[in-house]
Chains A and B, each alone.
Chain A
């Protein structure tokens, strides 16, 4: 049955294939072994990430953040069979395709706002995504609108409720956006505004920590 799957993406960590499983159109996410890693480390990491992803997908959904439906999580094969989101494209591709002065462009702010709200929902329920990038969020665009958001790729996620974890999560997003989008700063401001609108007072502490995390990245000394 798995022979009918067609590989559509080879990431650093996992490969994605499309196919039909249990009568559904699904994405199969597989984490192949990495020969460069010590076998103990490799199997522990692979298992841990598949498990972390499964756990986070359930928790994110419970927090009201849309994620793909799961059909099978198989630790032995390090595989997850999940919903292939209809018309889903990554936010990264979506932004890159936007033409200036169109309806899509005017909705970009509200898209970023929405992303901020979703991240806040995850954080409020203790879900730290661990790898937030515009490639790990899908939109389902329909005429002039970005449609529904869907968060994916929770392999580096963990459960935590400390301010530090939340701040680092946002920092990862910030860095990823800076390296992919020309208007990163403006987009990020909208995202943080969305986060603030949902988290309220709790966001202020996270933002304060975020400032510290940013500073830390830039002032390491080499004094042993």
Chain B
């Protein structure tokens, strides 16, 4: 179910979990620095159109980490920040991280091939249906994404929404 993607300087592993029962518990565990979940990032899948969106954000984070040029605390938070069009870190984490009521969660680990084990370990903590990543398509909320990234009709009527979103993530911190 989980899927891995090559980044320039590593690998990202991700999995989609639906009907999550213990979102609140997971959030608390993350905040308290839980051993199992420490390597994992949790994204709100309704804001993700396709794995490439997360891949582009994570790739950028890992490069920043290598250069000791992270804007946020970790590669995980940096990836959430890179996903967000906002410059405000807190706001970005709130928007793209999972909230108390969320039933769907996109879990990811950024590192090397070996780090897949962290995703495996997370299975024991996140209780829900671990489904095929392709189900993202049915979850993503296009109108919210458009609003989030400030994509107007002139653009969305002509071009693929995913391309618009990915391009914006690619230029983050460069403008």
**So, do A and B actually touch in the complex, CB under 8 Å?**
yes
> In the complex, which of the residues B59, B155, B171, B175 contacts A22, with contact meaning CB atoms closer than 8 Å?
B59
Which B residues from 34 to 90 make CB contacts under 8 A with A? 52, 55-56, 59-60, 63, 67
Given contacts A1-B8, A62-B151, A72-B59, contact A57 B52 (CB under 8 A): no
A34 close to B (CB within 8 Å): no
A171 on interface, CB distance cutoff 8 Å: no
User: How far is A73 from B172 in the complex, measured between Cα atoms in Å?
Assistant: 8
Residue among A62, A63, A76 making CB contact with B67, cutoff 8 Å: A76
A75 sits at the interface (CB 8 A): yes
**A57→B168 CA distance, assembly (Å):** 10
- Using Cβ atoms and an 8 Å threshold, which residues of chain B touch A1? 8-9
Contact B171 A54 (CB under 8 A): yes
**A94 contacts the other chain (CB 8 A):** no
Q: How far apart sit A51 and B174, CA to CA, in the bound complex (Å)?
A: 6
A55:B5 contact, CB within 8 angstroms: no
Which of chain B's residues has its CB closest to A72's CB?
Answer: B170
Are the C-beta atoms of B7 and A22 separated by less than 8 Å?
yes
A55 to B170, CA, bound (A): 11
A61 at the interface (CB under 8 A from B): yes
Given contacts A1-B8, A63-B154, are A69 and B55 in contact (CB under 8 A)?
no
A72 to B166, CA, bound (A): 9
Query: Could you tell me which residues of chain A, from 88 to 147, have a CB within 8 Å of some CB in chain B?
Result: none
Instruction: Point out the residues of chain B lying under 8 angstroms from A81, CB to CB.
Output: 170
* Contact A69/B163 with A22-B6, A23-B6, A51-B174 known, Cβ cut-off 8 Å: yes
Q: B147 near A: Cβ within 8 Å?
A: no
In angstroms, Cα B164 to Cα A84, docked, is 15
The answer on a CB contact under 8 Å between B63 and A70 is no
The proximity string for B residues 144-161 relative to A, scoring 1 for CB distances below 8 Å and 0 otherwise, is 000000011011011100
CA distance A57 to B166 in the complex (A): 12
Residues of A contacting B166 with CB < 8 Å? 69-71
What B residues does A57 contact at CB under 8 A?
A: 167, 171
- New A-B pairs, 4, CB < 8 Å, besides A58-B168, A66-B159, A71-B166: A51-B174, A51-B175, A58-B171, A81-B170
Tell me the A residues contacting B by CB distance below 8 Å: 1-2, 21-24, 50-51, 54-55, 57-58, 61-64, 66, 69-76, 81, 83
Q: Contact residues of B with A, CB < 8 Å? A: 5-9, 52, 55-56, 59-60, 63, 67, 151-152, 154-155, 157-159, 163-164, 166-168, 170-171, 174-175
